Amino acid sequence: MKMRRIDHIVLIVSDLEAARRFYHEVFDMPVLDDQTNDHVVTLRCGHQLIRLQSVNRPSDQLQAKNPTVGAADLCLVSGDDPKEALHHFKSYYVDVVEGPVTKYGSEGEMQSIYLRDPDQNLIEVSFYKNK
């Protein structure tokens, strides 16, 4: 079986509203209200989705065996300029952990800026040249 792409990822969060605000406001990800409820917020990220799942979601629902807050490490690709992104993060009082630094992703060389979300997940924001 050949996989074609990732459809969505799920991040376990301690405060659903704080996480929703962070991803919606800092990264301008639209919230999909028709896929959002008391325990899950769904956001669009390009052609994929990010689902924020409350750590307090009822255990009788289908989910990871050991939902853990702050254990994710993911990379988001931006179409902006890294210098503009640094200014944007500063305007939202988001601390940059590292960057811009040169890294390599699925499309080759890129510049990356690292930061943490409210649950301390490591978020790499990457910028490909001419993409």
Cβ pair 83, 98 in contact under 8 A: no
For residue 82, what are its two tokens? Answer: 């890294």
- Residue 46, both tokens: 């390009």
Residues 6+ apart with CB under 8 A from 108: 128
Give the residue numbers marked as catalytic: 124
* Closest alpha carbon to 130 in 114, 115, 109: 109
